[in-house]
Structure 1
Amino acid sequence: MKKLLLITMLLVIIVLAACNSEDSAEQGEDNKEEDVEEVNSEDRDEQRDDDAENKEEKENLDQKEEQADKEEVVEEIEPQYQMTDQWTFTPIEDGDPEVVLLTIDDVPDGQALEMAETLKELDASAIFFVNGIFMENEKDREIIKQIHDMGFAIGNHTYSHHNLQDLSEEEQYEEIISLNELIEEVIGEKPKFFRAPHGANTDYASELVKEEGMLLMNWTYGYDYFEPYMEAEKLQEAMISGKAPEIDVPNSLLRDGANLLMHDREWTNDALEDIVEGLREQGYEMLDPESILTPQDEE
């Protein structure tokens, strides 16, 4: 009987020991899992920190590269051309003489953005002369900003497009200065070029324009405001040849450094690509306005 009791007690002890051992093992596994989870959590935190740091470094690098690109874009071009008394342009030193300047007046009056896009695709430079009366709403101001951001020069064509010779000096001042201020507000810089409506300048306006650091210019020829050339095909032929026999211009006015006048008009927009390609076929390239010497460069 005693022997049976001893055997029973021994079995109970063995069972209890086995249970304790199993509990300890389970506890150990739980602790191990907790330790692993804690390590994994630390790893994840470290990875997140690394990712955040890498992202910040990448953003800083991107910003530096973007700033470098902007600095490269805004790097000033040394003036290579100067305007003559005939409103044409001649090389200062080693510039290519076979160039013409494209200018577009009365902007933005419906076609300007599309004209800028056409010129951009053709890699052809131009000056867009704007009027304040066409910039009185946010949509049109945004068009001017877009044209400027595409790399085109924005010029002053007066606020209201009045003939300056019919205005007092105070009115002339307002026409020019108020538009300068508006242009600077929209594109972040003052214009470098001025063209009076109808080419009608005054001594007062000429001096004011110079004081403002702008280059006053007229043009060599332009035909899209004459009724016989308010049609794309005829205008194209006239601008490429320099001739306009229907308005008594039988001889070509196209020459090295010519200053070509166009307007924000539907027929001009339709003819623009052919005009640029036709001029290039004759050996002319479009003059970059940034390479023109202005009073701002002389300050």
Structure 2
Amino acid sequence: MIHKKWIAIAAVSFLLTACGDDTNTSTSEEKETKNVEGNTETEKQEENVEKEEVEEVEEVEEQVEEPQYKVNPANWSVQPILDADEKVVLVTIDDAPDKHSLEMAETLKSQNIPAIFFVNGHFLESDEKKQQLKKIHEMGFMIGNHAYSHQDLKGLAEQQQQEEILKVSEMVEEITGEKPKFFRAPFGSNTDFSKQLVADEKMVLMNWTYGYDWEKQYQDAQTLTDIMVNTEYLNNGANLLMHDRDWTVEALPGIIQGLEDKGYGFVDPKEIEEM
């Protein structure tokens, strides 16, 4: 009788254990199913995020405007591409940021006139000048490379030319976050080496059509304004050269007004074809 009871208890225990195993197996299967479903859902979410990111990138790419102008190396004028407005001029300011560049930028900004400020690196050795250049860039103006010490490149060895140009690009990038897209040699004096280096650095080589503010007879606001607006060299696409000078900052509002009165618009340097 005792043996029969133990057999019965053993049988019941076996059945309970088996049921427990079935329950555990069922629970594990449910967990695995949920995990698979969770993983699938996560993968779908990741795919959707990736798809949204791709769409955002494509949208940004679509917003990038095609260049409207290009620099003509034969005479340094700015020429329209396709149907861009022909009656325009380009404003450029050299030797920034000396004494008046920030004030000139504020004057131009107040009238929504775009421009390129060409930088000499030796002006960027102080924190004050670095901050000025940063402000000019934050106003929306493009910053060009005008070499470090404003020496005639034709009088320098190739290694020195390279240092003069590359150092400025590095300084400007450190301050503004962008490398210059335009290069203007001091005195407009280029060499075969500098031209190739500028091309390798993906910068547009740029001189000018006309400028007068370094000539003694035009170093006052009235005469400078008059010649800049009434010179025979003022034509469609003229590339105007001005400098960071006392008399130029005084003449700038009148020059802009005179050009507008003659029906000229102003090229945004961001619309000029890059290298």
TM above 0.5: yes
Of the structure 1 ranges 76-85 and 139-148, higher mean CA displacement relative to structure 2 is found in 76-85
For residue 138 of structure 1, what is the aligned residue in structure 2? Answer: 127
**Is 1:231 aligned to residue 220 of structure 2?**
yes
Rounded to whole Å, the distance in 2 between the matches of 1:168 and 1:111 is: 32
The CA deviation string for residues 105-151 of structure 1, in whole angstroms up to 9 with x for no partner, is 00011000000000000110100000011110000000000000000
**Is 1:286 aligned to residue 266 of structure 2?**
yes
- Counterpart amino acid of 1:110? K
For residue 65 of structure 2, what is the aligned residue in structure 1? Answer: 77
Give structure 2 stretches of 5+ with no counterpart: 1-55
1:221 to 201, 204, 210: 210
1:184 to 173, 180, 195: 173
**Is 1:260 aligned to residue 249 of structure 2?**
no
Superposition deviation, residue 78 in structure 1:
1.9
Aligned residues: 215
For residue 107 of structure 1, what is the aligned residue in structure 2? Answer: 96
Superposition deviation, residue 233 in structure 1:
0.3
For residue 124 of structure 1, what is the aligned residue in structure 2? Answer: 113
Task: Detail structure 1 runs of 4+ shifted over 6 Å in the superposition.
Answer: none
Give structure 1 stretches of 5+ with no counterpart: 1-67, 243-251
The CA deviation string for residues 79-117 of structure 1, in whole angstroms up to 9 with x for no partner, is 100111210011111100000000000001100000000
What is the SS of the residue equivalent to 1:123? coil
For residue 86 of structure 2, what is the aligned residue in structure 1? Answer: 97
What is the SS of the residue equivalent to 2:150? coil
Rounded to whole Å, the distance in 1 between the matches of 2:108 and 2:246 is: 15
Rounded to whole Å, the distance in 1 between the matches of 2:84 and 2:133 is: 29
Superposition deviation, residue 77 in structure 1:
3.3
- Counterpart amino acid of 2:84? G
- Counterpart amino acid of 1:89? V
2:188 to 199, 209, 218: 199
**Identity of counterpart residues, as a percentage?**
52
1:194–1:216 Cα contact (<8 Å) kept: yes
Superposition deviation, residue 76 in structure 1:
3.7
- Counterpart amino acid of 1:127? I
Rounded to whole Å, the distance in 1 between the matches of 2:128 and 2:65 is: 31
Rounded to whole Å, the distance in 2 between the matches of 1:193 and 1:134 is: 18
Rounded to whole Å, the distance in 2 between the matches of 1:226 and 1:94 is: 37
1:220–1:253 Cα contact (<8 Å) kept: yes
1:224–1:230 Cα contact (<8 Å) kept: yes
Q: Are residues 285 and 143 of structure 1, via their aligned partners in 2, closer, same or farther at CA, if it must alter by over 3 Å?
A: same
The CA deviation string for residues 187-213 of structure 1, in whole angstroms up to 9 with x for no partner, is 001000000000000000001001101
1:100–1:260 Cα contact (<8 Å) kept: yes
Question: What is the CA RMSD across the aligned residues, in angstroms?
Answer: 1.3
- Counterpart amino acid of 1:237? D
1:77–1:290 Cα contact (<8 Å) kept: no
What is the SS of the residue equivalent to 2:225? helix
Superposition deviation, residue 286 in structure 1:
1.1
